[in-house]
Amino acid sequence: MPEPSLHQSLSQQQSLAPQMRRSLEILQANSMELTHMVQQALETNPVLEDVTESLSLDEMEPSAEEADSLDDLDRTEDDWRELEIMERRNQTWTPDDEERREHFYQSIIAPETLQQHLAAQLELSLLEPSVREAAQALLGNLDSRGFYDLPPSELGIRLGLNKKDVEEAVALIRTFDPVGVGALDLKDSLLIQLERRDRKNSLEYRIISDYLDDLARKRYPRIARALGTSVDRISEAAEAIGKLTPNPGGEYDPSGNPHIRPDVIIENTDDGLRARLTNEYLPKLRISDFYKDLLGRTGSDAKARQFLRENLREGRTLIHSLSLRQSTILGIAEKLIEHQRDFFEKGPRHLRPLTMNDIADELQLHATTVSRAVAGKYALTPHGLMEMRAFFAAGYETADGSKVSNAGVREAMQELISKENPAKPLSDDAIAKALKAQGIPVARRTVAKYRDQLGVLPSHLRRSFS
């Protein structure tokens, strides 16, 4: 058995400094994440204060010298401040900073969940205690759509609830807002929505009740024969059914993001296309003068002085990183205007192929920095809200030598499908041939993939009977 021995070896390993790591986290964060990070910093770092109403981000931006060396910044500014305090000890403390932070914390309101919305309605209902207990148990059994995970009868048996109480609770919840909650499944939810509209005796109700599968497959002639009516009437009923809500609880889904906030706005001005940042969601930060002054009063208390200096350093790093994030996003947006001018002026069909390396080289950044900067970020454009990553896409070279992006191909496909004969919808092969005729060489399997991405059904399910 060999004897154990010790060996020394040298190796090089690259690691990120804490300040650089923090900058990358802030650069990559989307608007919601960034808001949370800033709020967390305000809660944990006493030297930071929110001056949203009195300062702009530009006023807080560190100078070039400050950005070069945070260590020098700490030493020069804090030492100068300490000297000033030693010369005149007449500074007074006011609680304004703490009051502003406390007001900020109390103003943060979490979005209402579906369960909270339904529970609030239950609280306003006049019920027997046993029925209220059953209703509370049923509400806890609803998923994010507002549908039951378990049938109410089975849940009642498991919990030992009275059958009559469960039935009354079920009937009550079916009257709650949003309309369609308290359903067993999609079919039941659609029927609830029609019942609430006094449409229980309607053709739509009969179709959903007995022929929902045929409706999904657009078998209008079969439904018409079974119900003794015309295909036109079935088509009209199908259109009305399409206006019902398949996911009643969707607006309360915490995993969704119904209120996307753009980080940049690209708009037409008198001077042409311009990009500007949106900072309304981002608290404006600065270092509290009180804590700078306090640093000079710590005297021989090494622990207190070290604590303050670390928080001052972290605060300045955060402010500098926020400024760097904003300037990077703005720089990328301005380059997008240069490269995608046809898109902004003519529409999605004219989005050109573009790589992150192209932008990175022009801004003298690494491609991964550009990738982090656009991740989860949105731009409000003349053609609507777009994810910034969508501007970077591969594409095809057309017959005339010009280039079109994948998004442009999808736009061309969408235009072809919108103009097709509903009675004879275009097959994937027909769409591929039509695109080729426009000078865009795309394979049939690629057409099928893009069609799925567009949420368009295959041709045999798009067929409309009249």
Q: What is the pTM of this model?
A: 0.50
Q: Model confidence at 195, in pLDDT bands (50, 70, 90)?
A: very high
Judged against a pLDDT cut of 80, whether residue 40 lies above it is answered with yes
Judged against a pLDDT cut of 80, whether residue 211 lies above it is answered with yes
Query: Who has greater pLDDT, 246 or 279?
Result: 246
For the stretch 5-14, what's the b/e string if a residue is b when 16 or more beta carbons lie within 10 angstroms of its beta carbon? Answer: eeeeeeeeee
Q: What is the pLDDT of residues 337-372, one digit of tens each?
A: 999 898 888 887 778 888 888 898 999 988 878 888
Q: Give mean pLDDT, residues 20-46.
A: 83
Question: Among the ranges 60-64, 217-221, 257-261, 289-293, which has the highest mean pLDDT value?
Answer: 217-221
CA distance 428 to 78: 69
Question: Among 256-260, 305-309, 313-317, which stretch is predicted with the lowest mean pLDDT?
Answer: 256-260
Question: Among 92-106, 112-126, 150-164, which stretch is predicted with the lowest mean pLDDT?
Answer: 92-106
How far, CA to CA in Å, does 158 sit from each of 131, 140, 161, 173? 16, 14, 8, 20
How far, CA to CA in Å, does 215 sit from each of 184, 221, 231, 236, 255? 19, 10, 12, 12, 30
Query: Who has greater pLDDT, 360 or 53?
Result: 360
Q: Are 58 and 283 in contact (CB under 8 A)?
A: no
**Residue in 139, 75, 439, 238 with CA at minimum distance from that of residue 152:** 139
